[in-house]
Structure 1
Amino acid sequence: MDYKQQTMDYKQHTQQNICVFPGTGNDHCRLKYVNFEVAENTISHETQGLSKDILVVRRGKPFKITLMFTSDLWDPRTERLVLEVCLGNMSEKMPVQFSDKCSNPGGWSANIYHGDMHLQSGAIHICSPVLSAVGMYDLFLHIESSYHRRSYAVGSFVLLCNPWLKDDSVYMPQTSKLEEYIKSDYGQLYMGSHLNISMRPWSFGQYEPGVLEACLQLLQVSPQHHSDKNSDYIRRVDPVYISKVICAMVNCNDDLGILKGKWQGTYKDGVKPTEWSGSADILHQWVSSKCRPVRYGQCWVFASVLCTVMRVLGVPSRVVTVFNAAHDGNGNLKIEEYYSTKGEKLSLSKDSIWNFHVWVECWMRRPDLGEEFDGWQVVDPTPQEKSAGIYSCGPCPVAAILQRDLGTPYDTGFVYASVDADIIRLIVRNGQVVGRMEDTKSVGQMICTKSVNSDKPENLTESYKREKIPMMGSFAYEPMPMMMSSACEPNAMRMRCKALEVKEEMSAGLEVSLSINGEPTVGEEIALCVTVTNYSSGSRVLMEHLSAQVKGYNSSPQESFWKTHKEVHIKPGQALMLQHTILPSQYESVLAGDDIVNVAVVIKDVRTKERVLAAQEFSISSPKITIEIEGGDSVHMKKDCTAQVFFINTFKKTLNGAVLTVEGSGLLQGKQEARLAVLQPGDKIEKKVSIMANSPGTKVLMATFSHSNSPSVVCRGFQKVSVTTD
């Protein structure tokens, strides 16, 4: 029986968690019905809200079912009860014992506790082994005597990992962390750049109807399951195996996975990645389309969906952002970046650096690698490079990254490069390298996740990397051959660098830094400051070349939208501060709402030809959208509540074709809009919506504002909503 049919048949036989079955034959003892005691079991097993249709329990911990027999008495002296659990073609029988303790520590057991036995009913406590496979099990009852045997299909239940149980390989001792990394359906994603971190909430949605079923179906349609069902079931005891399978199934590159990735071009045939605010809508769309990939995802979407599935399956998980994450295409732990002598970044390398990259950490023991690698494991579902022939990364122990043990299996070298590779920055002129420096600090500038019980970021950087000894390389000024390579997705980080004249006796040279004044905001001027310090004993004539380019967080920069250059005279020991301003009119036509600006300056000594490079990347903040929930941010389930959403035009110009859109998975059906043909400076566009939640947990209400003056610039606002059952 396949998974979908199994679920459908079970739902047809369930009413308020009680399964009714007719008796068979003329024997005097027959089963009348079975109560799965859902309320009691889900509280005991920390699975409340995961499903309304089926019992969900955790491995290694007893759960209770009550058998009710017909008025004819069951005599345990002449008839014995045997329960049987089945997972696919595998099954195990367990005779019902009268005992207050687990009678079969290494296998399944079924016990009637002393004092629980009633003449016409029996409360049976079923316990699975700690090393049990995750999945949906069928349960059967056999009533056996010396002369006959009667069998009943009792129903089905779902078995998950048990991070509350010490012997489970996903055990996590801290209750507060289990609340955050298993039970919480709400998270914060950190994006932008390490100098200007932006936050957006995400609804993991594990309590939304159908999400549990979607996560189980993901296992059932995996290539591993189709290839060998029994082997797949046997290996599902291991969270290392589960995380590897799920990681590959979140992207659709090799299988019937959930999400299709896209990083540029139009998104008209799907949903733009920035428009997602939760996992439930994505999982529902995947199931309803019969496992066709959902369009589209990027790294934070892939990671958030993976986090949802792993939390549902019982593996503690959290979403982690790496700022300035390297993509080491050739595995040499070096990232090459090329710049022109005018400060323009060039797309000439196979390597790349993403302003931010998002993956997942899953908590588990690693008996396959040794206890020193227990704890958090990096699992990255974004399809970047193949691992063992499929687009999957991890589970890689964070401890192996910290120890720089690059021989550890599960993509340790690739993950290490992501957080700690070195950058080689090259200045190129006429196909030759005329300047070079090595930067050992910029990659993995900050690594963070949502703090426990707080929306503030927790800095994880020291868990991944130790302080490196600076290796500031001097520039070479004799032309060198340049190794050309294919286009990539490079990026430059803020840096402070020194260039030394290459002579027989090294003399002091120039120091250059580049900074952004304040927090750049769409519609406002961008103020830049280049600081040049002359450490030499003589005056110098310099040429300053400054260039600004727009780029996506993981893509190659476009052509410069703004340039400037001028001659600068500097005295010995002098420090000059060169101020520059980019006007809104100079960037609004090319800058999209989620883009990042790359600015670089090259300072050239006119006499010595010495060149010094400094670069900076930053994101531009959008004006705020205000979302106010009537009565506060906590609402009651299945009760109407009003939300007021508005945007005030803080720009200095009139906006045409203003549109304010409000949506929220689990709160609103579809999207609701407000439109204004003209929105004057200081005026407001607003929308009042009625929200109602049908399930408990934390939801996210999202609003977007756009206008026809600059269609690519979209402002977004988010508000988390806590739904209670009181």
Structure 2
Amino acid sequence: MDQFKVQTIDLQKAQNQTRHKTDGLSSSTLVLRRGQAFTVTINYDGRPFDPLKEKMIFQIVLGPLSVEVPVSRFGQPSLTQWSAFLERRVPNPTGPRALSVSLTSPASASIGVYTLQLRVEARLSVKTHSLGQITLLCNPWCQTDSVFLQAEDLRNEYVRSDIGLLFKGSPRNVVSRPWSFDQFEKGILDICMKLLQLSPQYQADMRTDLKNRSDPVYIGRVISAMVNSNDDKGVLMGNWSGDYSGGINPSQWSGSADILRKWSETQFRPVKYGQCWVFAAVMCTVMRALGIPTRVITNFNSAHDTDGNMVIEEYYNEMGKKLSMSSDSIWNFHVWVESWMKRPDLGQGYDGWQVLDATPQERSAGIFRCGPAAVKAIYQKKVDAQYDVPFVYAEVNADVRTIIIKDKKILSTSTDTKRVGALIATKRPGSTLMQDVTSEYKTEKDLDKLASRTRDPGPGRQPLAVEESIRPGRQPLAVEESRIAGSSFIRGMESEASKGIAVSLQLLKAPVVGENISFNVIITNNAAAPKLLKKHVNAQNKEYNRNPTGTFWEAHDDVKIGPNETLTIKHEISFKEYMLKEAEEDSLVNLAVVIEDVESQERVLASEEFNIRSPVLTVQIQNEFSVIINTPQVATVSFTNPFNVAVSGELTVSGSGLLEEKAQMTVTIKPQETMKKPVNFTPRMAGSKMLSASLVLTNPPTVLHGFKTINVQAS
């Protein structure tokens, strides 16, 4: 008797991955999104399949979990469980004998690497066929998935885009630097799945972990812990010491693939080294690869409140030197991610963006991780909401108490309620502009504080170049990088109004490595009598995440000031005086002035922390508007040496989807000479891509970045 015999089974990889918007993701498996049908073609011999004579049952296995899915002739896919139906097809009498089955996973399926088998049960025989493996991801295109995102342009930006900009520097001198998320690079998705498998949760209780992987809240907590290596076999080791021997200076990373591959190739030993923007960028890669919409966020003047009192104490001596007396600190900038997901655990109203932070700052339930903290809960100061809302709230809203001391005695104190969380920013979708999202974290009352700080620039000062970005009731602002770079004046912090003396600092131009730092000290005598003053100005190098180290420049003078007079005193700090020993992208300086009234011994302080930008690398494309897939192109990287000595270093050019391998070359450039280096590349993926360049100079030690976004057209 003629029997139905399965010959081969085709998982239709190209067709299914295009439909599931996973095309381009590199994996040894078929990559699918949950909650969406996919087609399997079964080629057979003998008579057609007859449901009355045999059964076809798919077995879908995830570790110790498995489900059996019988193939039905008719029906609708289930929202809550796996289902399989025969697809109606017009038979081709001359073609191979084949039938197609449509399989659908529930939108709440656990993400992971599944094994598929097909069992055919006839009256006298049972035959099992192996179909291989599928990797199942979250699905922001599916309305019933808990990561569903409404707008197609946002799904493309926060899931499919592999190019990013990370914002650093200070709120009035923002620096954008390129980052390649690399989720489409060869093997990266498989490494991201390995991250879940190596987590302590999976190792301790595989069954429970796999069940919990249906929930992006759980996944976010696991990944937040696994991107740092503090408690587990995580990816990155943090280092803020300034000594990066035995590893790579965090400023030199430009993409996630190098880091994730290095972790995988060394049998999951931590990669050295990361700092906050590296932790955040790698986390963004992993979350996007897993199908969870994610964006990178920078919080400028980010408070690290170690004692939970929502106040950051800063101590200065009477000469204006900042002292390391508090375990609290203000990071000039801190970088985390937000991921988009529903929060049924918090009740209604907290769905949407959630803060996740992989930088190991504090423990959450005993593990170095942070979040997901609902941005809406932070906005509402709902500090009882899990996870880690109080910590993130303090990062954007803590008060700063400044204390001047001498011989362990307090000379004066002042409180600044406006400095922390001065600007919260991300990359604008589909653009290289910055988007201000401060109003998503701060209420109108908090924004009024910020606005009052920027509204009146004070005597003799220019208004803030991005002032409109900190006004209440505004639309999200995009600030062009060139505009930020060209902000000609950076407003200093003014001392609190005093009965006698007021003082402020004014930077005369945005500082750039290689140039002198020029600034004014502006002193106002509010009294009707002349005064004799002592002026102490102090400049200290600092890391972005901690209090400054030793003083590298200071000036001390006696000043006579008339009644109701304002004095402007100019100072310059030469390049030789602030040059760093270790290569950094942006040097940071804490500048402070203390004015002492000799008669009353009253003291007032003004301080400003600012970044000294590296010179810019320029990347240009020969035929910028006709870049076509699989067609050779030429880019030129150029840099003019602004220093009065020859400089040498390593130039690296990379681009996911553009260059198979990085282009690397050693360069030496004479003073005032312009370097122009051509780089040949052939795009292998259509869409928006980024060519990024970095130049690591040894003398003076600095790291330069440049980038160009390219729209690659299909042929």
Structure 1 residue 579 displacement after superposition = 1.4
Structure 1 residue 463 displacement after superposition = 0.8
1:627-655 Cα shifts (integer Å, max 9, x gaps): 2233227744555433322322223x232
Contact 2:7 2:43 (8 Å CA) reproduced? yes
Contact 1:530 1:577 (8 Å CA) reproduced? yes
Aligned to 2:565: 574
Structure 1 residue 48 displacement after superposition = 1.3
SS of structure 2 residue aligned to 1:179: helix
Q: In structure 2, do the counterparts of structure 1 residues 701 and 453 end up closer, same or farther at CA, with 3 Å as the change threshold?
A: closer
| Pairing partner for 2:394 from 399, 408, 417 | 417
Q: In structure 2, do the counterparts of structure 1 residues 178 and 470 end up closer, same or farther at CA, with 3 Å as the change threshold?
A: closer
1:415-494 counterparts in 2 under 5 A?
415-466=392-443, 467-468=445-446, 494=492
Distance 2:520 2:186 in 1: 53
SS of structure 1 residue aligned to 2:394: helix
1:203-256 Cα shifts (integer Å, max 9, x gaps): 111111101101111111111111111111110000000000011000011111
| Pairing partner for 1:109 from 64, 77, 83 | 83
1:158-307 counterparts in 2 under 5 A?
158-307=135-284
Contact 1:100 1:114 (8 Å CA) reproduced? no
Aligned to 2:324: 347
Contact 2:652 2:695 (8 Å CA) reproduced? no
Aligned to 1:141: 118
Structure 1 residue 330 displacement after superposition = 0.8
What one-letter code is carried by the residue in structure 2 that aligns with 1:125? S
Distance 1:702 1:430 in 2: 51
Distance 1:264 1:90 in 2: 45
Verify: 1:517 aligned to 2:508, yes or no: yes
Q: In structure 2, do the counterparts of structure 1 residues 531 and 549 end up closer, same or farther at CA, with 3 Å as the change threshold?
A: same
Q: In structure 2, do the counterparts of structure 1 residues 718 and 231 end up closer, same or farther at CA, with 3 Å as the change threshold?
A: same
Distance 1:231 1:217 in 2: 17
Verify: 1:33 aligned to 2:8, yes or no: yes
Structure 1 residue 315 displacement after superposition = 0.8
Aligned to 2:590: 598
| Pairing partner for 2:494 from 471, 496, 500 | 496
Distance 1:366 1:345 in 2: 42
SS of structure 1 residue aligned to 2:195: helix
| Pairing partner for 1:681 from 668, 671, 679 | 671
What one-letter code is carried by the residue in structure 2 that aligns with 1:353? I
SS of structure 1 residue aligned to 2:242: coil
1:512-535 Cα shifts (integer Å, max 9, x gaps): 211211111122221111112222
Q: In structure 2, do the counterparts of structure 1 residues 282 and 598 end up closer, same or farther at CA, with 3 Å as the change threshold?
A: same
Deviates more, 1:63-72 or 1:158-167: 63-72
Distance 1:582 1:222 in 2: 50
Distance 2:243 2:197 in 1: 33
Q: In structure 2, do the counterparts of structure 1 residues 291 and 633 end up closer, same or farther at CA, with 3 Å as the change threshold?
A: farther
1:123-162 Cα shifts (integer Å, max 9, x gaps): 1110111110001111111111233221111221111111
1:301-358 Cα shifts (integer Å, max 9, x gaps): 1001111111111111100000000000111111000111111111111000000000
What one-letter code is carried by the residue in structure 1 that aligns with 2:671? P
Task: Count the aligned residue pairs.
Answer: 668
Distance 1:516 1:591 in 2: 25
SS of structure 2 residue aligned to 1:627: strand
Verify: 1:398 aligned to 2:371, yes or no: no
Contact 1:34 1:154 (8 Å CA) reproduced? yes
Aligned to 2:543: 552
For structure 1, the 5+ residue unaligned runs are 1-25, 473-492, 501-507
SS of structure 2 residue aligned to 1:713: strand
For structure 2, the 5+ residue unaligned runs are 453-490
Contact 2:298 2:424 (8 Å CA) reproduced? yes
Contact 2:35 2:79 (8 Å CA) reproduced? no
Q: In structure 2, do the counterparts of structure 1 residues 41 and 204 end up closer, same or farther at CA, with 3 Å as the change threshold?
A: same
Verify: 1:715 aligned to 2:692, yes or no: no
1:557-706 counterparts in 2 under 5 A?
557-588=548-579, 593=584, 594-632=586-624, 635-651=627-643, 653-656=644-647, 658-664=648-654, 666=656, 667=659, 669-676=661-668, 679-693=669-683, 700-705=690-695
1:38-80 Cα shifts (integer Å, max 9, x gaps): 2222222111111364221111111111111124543333112
Structure 1 residue 266 displacement after superposition = 2.4
Structure 1 residue 509 displacement after superposition = 2.4
SS of structure 2 residue aligned to 1:371: coil
Aligned to 1:375: 352
Contact 2:164 2:178 (8 Å CA) reproduced? yes
Distance 2:645 2:379 in 1: 53
Structure 1 residue 265 displacement after superposition = 3.2
Contact 2:583 2:696 (8 Å CA) reproduced? no
What one-letter code is carried by the residue in structure 1 that aligns with 2:559? V
Verify: 1:157 aligned to 2:134, yes or no: yes
Distance 2:91 2:104 in 1: 18
1:170-196 Cα shifts (integer Å, max 9, x gaps): 111111111111111111110000110
Q: In structure 2, do the counterparts of structure 1 residues 705 and 146 end up closer, same or farther at CA, with 3 Å as the change threshold?
A: closer
Q: Identity over aligned residues, as a percent? A: 42
Structure 1 residue 592 displacement after superposition = 5.1
Distance 1:303 1:402 in 2: 21
Distance 1:326 1:99 in 2: 59
Distance 2:510 2:79 in 1: 60
Contact 1:704 1:715 (8 Å CA) reproduced? yes
Structure 1 residue 89 displacement after superposition = 1.6
Contact 1:249 1:256 (8 Å CA) reproduced? yes
Aligned to 1:536: 527
Contact 2:119 2:127 (8 Å CA) reproduced? yes
1:260-306 Cα shifts (integer Å, max 9, x gaps): 11112322322111111111111111111111111111101100111
Contact 1:207 1:696 (8 Å CA) reproduced? no
Q: In structure 2, do the counterparts of structure 1 residues 53 and 723 end up closer, same or farther at CA, with 3 Å as the change threshold?
A: farther
Q: In structure 2, do the counterparts of structure 1 residues 159 and 368 end up closer, same or farther at CA, with 3 Å as the change threshold?
A: same
Structure 1 residue 709 displacement after superposition = 4.3
Contact 1:627 1:644 (8 Å CA) reproduced? yes
Structure 1 residue 401 displacement after superposition = 0.7
SS of structure 1 residue aligned to 2:71: strand
Q: TM-score, normalising length from structure 2? A: 0.89
SS of structure 2 residue aligned to 1:140: strand
Distance 2:570 2:396 in 1: 33
1:580-604 Cα shifts (integer Å, max 9, x gaps): 1112232236685432011000011
Aligned to 1:93: 68
Structure 1 residue 689 displacement after superposition = 2.9
Distance 2:670 2:100 in 1: 70
Aligned to 2:25: 50
Structure 1 residue 92 displacement after superposition = 1.0
Pairwise CA RMSD: 2.2
